[in-house]
Each structure stands twice: as structure tokens, then as C-alpha cells.
A and B are shown apart, each in its own frame.
Chain A
Amino acid sequence: MSAILECRDLTKSFGNKSALAGVNLTIERGQIVGLLGPNGSGKTTFIKLANDLLSPTKGEIRIDGKKPGIETKRIVSYLPEKTYLIEWMKVHQMITFFTDFYEDFKADKAHEMMARLGINPNDRLKTLSKGTREKVQLILVMSREADLYLLDEPIGGVDPAAREYILDTILHNYNENATIVISTHLIADIEKILDHVIFINAGQVVLSSPVETIRDEQGKSVDTLFREVFRC
């Protein structure tokens, strides 16, 4: 079985500004990966390329051995940093929408999680607060049984209490062959759930290493190492 995500010389430029410059990377199946880097380092560009929302300027990215397209969209569950929910719909209509388009979506699971967070399925999305919308979005994304989850800043906009619950949700809602990539700069909060970290800066991968190696060989936490690598 091929690696879940692979890129070779992956480059994306906007005009003459390069957002990713020749990234080579392999992400194996069955782990939780932290994609860590300061603002503007290329995290979102990388995730958008994996979702076929951008096309590479040079090089290639493959998911499950295939170029991003319909086939990969079926197995990738993506949480963008934006709230992309359709505002005029009610929460339960949004659940039906996901059921209609994704074969791997589990509506029961989504309803159950909504109930646990006290989100009323009959509420219109337009009337919900930004934080609640982000929770709805995360629940929808995690209610799929995908092979690869790409979560762009999943905990940025919610309060610390909900953050706990969300990380818990992430941890308990994927099977062991699935891979989760979490992009964030809030490292301390997610460090304990990560198996592998990728440091990215100015469009280049600075480090790709299992968390165990960092702890054992360097005797540091990921947070400490991050602060050292990205010292301003």
C-alpha cells in the first residue's frame, strides 16, 4: 500500500511570491501528524493543494497514489480555516447534505455529537455564533470515515473547554489506518496527541520527525523545539 500522502518538489507561487518551494514529503498511514509553522509559512497552501483547491506550479502531490481529484476527494475529509457552511441551511439539512455527497459519512454519529455539544439540529446556521459554527463544521468533518483528515487550524477559534472536547473528538473518531494532519501554531495544546511532526517555514520543510525521536534523542518537548527552531 502506498503512503497516504506524498509530494515531490511541490512548488506553488502566486505571481513572483512563492508560498511553497520544492517540498518533498511522505506521510505514512495510521498516525496523527502536526503540520507546524508560523503564520504565512505555507501550511494552508499545502493543505489546499492536497484538496485540489489549488494547482501546483511545479512538482506533484499524490494522495493514496493519485493526483488530487474526484477519487481523492472521496477519501479526504477537509476542515478549512474558513467557515464554509451554507448559511441558509439548518444544522440537520447540512447533515443531510453531507450524507448525500459522501458515502463514508455517518449521520448518526454527527447527530449524536451535536447533541452532546448542545447544538440544536433545527437551528439555522446563520443564527449560530462563529465558535458554534466551527464546532458544527468539525463534527461534520469528523463524522466521515475518511482515510485522510486534513484539519486546518481546527482549534484556533474555540474556547479552551471546547478545545479539549474537540481534540477528544478527533482522537476517538478515526480508525487506526486513517491519518490525521493537523495544521496549527498552537502546539502546546495538541502536542500530547501527535505521533509525528512536520515543521514548515517560508515554504520549506525544516523538519519531519516522529515525536518520540524528538523527546528521546533531544530530550525536548515539541513546543520547546519549535520555539528554538522558529526563534524570532
Chain B
Amino acid sequence: MLSKLLKYEMKATARIFLPLFAVVLLSATMNRLITIFAPKGWEVPAVISMVLYVTILVGMFVVTAVMMIQRFYKNLLSEEGYLMFTLPVKPWMHIISKLLLAMMWALVSIAVAIGSVVIIASAQIFKPEVVSQIGQVVSQIYAYEGAWLFTAEFVLLVLVGGIAKILMVYASIAVGHLVNNHKILASLGAYIGLSTISQILFTFMGLLPGMAGIKDRYTGGNLSNPMGTVRFSSADNLAAILPSVHGFLWYGVLFSALLTVGYFIITNMILGKKLNLE
């Protein structure tokens, strides 16, 4: 049943996202073509098409965020909710299907944005000397022991962090739904409330005995000036702080994972037991 929900979530979102991505890439290509074919000194069209491209790019990220909210709210908590919640499907499956697709589109949006920049800058990037330089930098970075570990940690943090953020939005909407009037305002309030609680938890979790080691290495035990001990003046110092950076990345992953579980439980409980469709 989860695969069927995913299929329909894909259909409902792809019809918006695919044309949007096409427009972004098309606009980037336009920019590229104008710089190739425009005569010297003919700059107005280039500027206009650049402004247009940036606007579209920003628009794409706005749509990604709006779609995340709208799919959850409209499909589950407005009139469509009568259909979705009478399907023989558990509430958690609805949450997972929305979450996976929202996450996927956010990542694809980032990939499309990078791709469009590459298109525009292709003349600069695809020169032999630039390509070889980029290659050198990359091989230098990955020659360093632990670079792969950093990459893995960073990717994990982005993924878990992203999931936690999306679930925080879902939990806020679900909490706002509990109120009879002014649901949107209540959702906004819930979002602010959950962010604040998360911030406080973040600080407190760092004070726990087991965590203190990880965090102190990063902050030097000084929370008000977290970067105080970090100086990139020499390679020695850089090597010295690396373990703390590992520690901090893992702290972030662990913390986001805990938030993910918490937000998921809140959302699932409200959709399962406290549903109150209009």
C-alpha cells in the first residue's frame, strides 16, 4: 500500500516539478546562448535574461517549499483528507509517502540549480586547464585521510537534517489542526514553538555527560564563543581541530535523528487519534 501511496504522490507532484525544472534549465540555456551569439556591447538582453533566470531559480525553491506544505495540508487535512484517511492505509504511511517525495524533490531542486549554473558557466568551466585544476583540487582533498568520512558525515547530516526540518513543518501543521479556528495562525505559532523547543534541547543535550566530550572539543567548553578555539592559522591547528569537527557533525546527526523521531511521533499521533477534518 505504501508503494501505491508513493506512486500517487509522485504523480501529484511530478506534474508541477517537471515543467518547473524544464523552465529553469531552459532559462539557463537561454542565458548561455545569448552570451554566445549576442554582438559585443549588446548587454541589455543578457542582463534581462540573467535577472529572469535568477528570479526563476528563486521561484523554484519557493515552489519546493510551498509544495511540501501544500501536499501535506491539502491532501491530508482539507477535503481530500476524507478520501485519504478512509483508504485502508495506516496514518504513518501517509506521512512517510509525503516525506520521501518532499525530500526527493528538494534534492532534485538543488541538483537542477547546480546543473543550471554549470550550463551558464560552461564556457568557463569546460576549459581543459580549469577541468584539470578542479580535478587536482578534488584529488588533493580526497588524498587526505578521512576526507571520505567527512563527505559521508556531511551527506548524512544534510539528509537527516532535511528530514527533521520537513517533519517539523508537518508536526506544526498537525498541531495547528488541533485548534478549531485560525488553523494557519496556530500552525505558524506551533512552528515557532517547536523551533524554540528544539533550540533549547540542542543546548541541553550538549550538556549531557556523554555529549559534553563531543561538544566541548568543538566549542572549547565555551558556548558563548563556539569558534573561539578555532584558528586556521596553520596546518597544525587545522589537524588539531579535525576530531572536533567529526564530533560536531555526529552530534548534529544524532540530534536531528532525535528530532525526526519526536516530530514523527507527534504528527502520527495527531493524524491517528486527533484527526478533526472540517
Contacts and interface: CB of A to CB of B under 8 A. Distances in A.
A52 B88 contact: no
Interface residues of A, number: 25
A177 B250 CA distance: 60
A86 B275 contact: no
B82 A84 contact: yes
B86 A78 contact: yes
B83 A84 contact: yes
A82 B82 contact: yes
B276 A82 contact: no
Given A14-B180, A97-B8, A102 B82 contact: no
Q: Select the residue from A52, A76, A84 with max chain B CB neighbours within 10 A.
A: A84
A74 B88 contact: yes
B137 interface: no
Contacts of B89: 70, 73, 101
A83 interface: yes
B4 interface: yes
A116 to B, nearest CB: 23
Contacts of A97: 8
A53 B277 contact: yes
Nearest to A94: B83
Interface in A43-95: 48, 51-55, 70-71, 73-74, 76, 78, 80, 82-86, 88
B85 A53 contact: yes
Interface residues of B, number: 24
Contact of B86 (A53, A55, A85): A53
A102 B88 contact: yes
A100 interface: yes
B86 A54 contact: no
B275 A54 contact: yes
A76 B12 CA distance: 26
A36 B276 CA distance: 23
B88 A53 contact: no
A198 to B, nearest CB: 22
A136 to B, nearest CB: 12
A85 B84 CA distance: 10
A53 B86 CA distance: 8
A102 B4 CA distance: 11
Nearest to B91: A52
B12 A88 contact: yes
Contacts of B12: 86, 88
B18 interface: no
A100 B85 CA distance: 15
Contacts of A70: 88-90
B231 interface: no
Nearest to B278: A82
Contact of B4 (A51, A52, A80, A101): A101
Contacts of A100: 4, 7-8
Contacts of A82: 79, 82
Nearest to B83: A84
B86 A83 contact: no
Contact of B80 (A48, A51, A55, A86): A86
Interface in B236-278: 273-277
Contacts of A76: 86
B276 A54 contact: yes
B1 interface: yes
A84 B79 contact: yes
Q: Select the residue from B1, B75, B82, B89 with max chain A CB neighbours within 10 A.
A: B82
A101 B88 contact: yes
A54 to B, nearest CB: 7
B278 to A, nearest CB: 8
A55 B275 CA distance: 8
A83 B12 CA distance: 18
Q: Select the residue from A48, A73, A86 with max chain B CB neighbours within 10 A.
A: A86
A74 B8 CA distance: 19
Contact of A85 (B4, B7, B83): B83
A103 to B, nearest CB: 9
B127 interface: no
A15 B79 CA distance: 22
25 contacts: A14-B180, A48-B277, A51-B85, A52-B86, A53-B85, A54-B276, A55-B275, A70-B88, A70-B89, A70-B90, A71-B88, A73-B86, A73-B87, A73-B88, A73-B89, A74-B88, A78-B82, A78-B86, A82-B79, A82-B82, A84-B79, A85-B83, A86-B12, A86-B75, A97-B8
Given A53-B85, A73-B86, 19 more contacts: A14-B180, A14-B276, A15-B180, A48-B277, A55-B273, A55-B275, A70-B89, A73-B88, A74-B88, A80-B82, A83-B79, A85-B83, A86-B80, A100-B7, A100-B8, A101-B1, A101-B87, A101-B88, A102-B88
